[in-house]
């Protein structure tokens, strides 16, 4: 059985952030694994956040053309676009689980895409949102 893995923004960012000596190799290992297995998924929200973060918040920042190439590569993961149904789902998740709206939007996108795993450091490792379970990229090895 192939399990789809929804990847949150900062996993993508850490793979590019040389200042994250401990996190960068783990983020890269996860992304390498997801590319090899074809299991990676994300949303347009994640790609927008990634682009802004790596070009404007990292020091040194990534060249915008290189960041655009990254985003284009991640488009092969068929990122989910925000629509009214996803917005409503995020509000329900935000209220039910008492998490931030932005985290709820990520959870809603992962659920909408049928992802059984949500790769993020922003939520508690092992936490379940229905059929979607949080996996910290820094708690377990890729593919475990």
Domain parsing of the chain, residue ranges? 5-135
What 3-state DSSP class applies to 41?
Answer: strand
What per-residue confidence (pLDDT) applies to 1? Answer: 55
CB 12 within 8 A of CB 74: yes
CB 110 within 8 A of CB 6: yes
Residues sharing a CB contact under 8 Å with residue 64, sequence separation 6 or more, in sequence order: 55
Distance between CA 46 and CA 59 in Å, rounded? 20
Tens digit of pLDDT at every position of the chain (144 positions) = 578 999 999 999 999 998 888 999 999 999 999 999 999 999 999 999 999 999 999 989 999 999 999 999 999 999 999 999 999 999 999 999 999 999 999 999 999 999 999 999 999 999 999 999 999 999 999 977
What 3-state DSSP class applies to 141?
Answer: coil
CATH superfamily of domain region 5-135? 5'-nuclease (3.40.50.1010)
What per-residue confidence (pLDDT) applies to 45? Answer: 97
């Amino acid at each position: 059985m192939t399990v789809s893995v929804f990847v949150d923004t900062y996993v993508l960012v850490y793979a590019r952030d040389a200042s994250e000596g401990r996190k960068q190799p783990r983020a890269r290992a996860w992304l390498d694994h997801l590319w090899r297995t074809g299991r990676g998924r994300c949303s347009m929200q994640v790609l927008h956040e990634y682009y802004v973060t790596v070009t404007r918040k990292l020091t040194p920042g990534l060249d915008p053309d290189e960041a655009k190439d990254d985003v284009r590569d991640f488009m092969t993961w068929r990122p989910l676009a925000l629509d009214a149904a996803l917005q409503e789902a995020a509000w329900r998740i935000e209220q039910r689980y008492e998490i931030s709206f932005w985290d709820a939007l990520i959870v809603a996108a992962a659920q909408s895409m049928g992802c059984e795993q949500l790769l993020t450091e922003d939520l508690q490792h092992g936490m379940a949102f229905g059929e979607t379970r949080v996996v910290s990229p820094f708690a377990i090895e890729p593919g475990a």
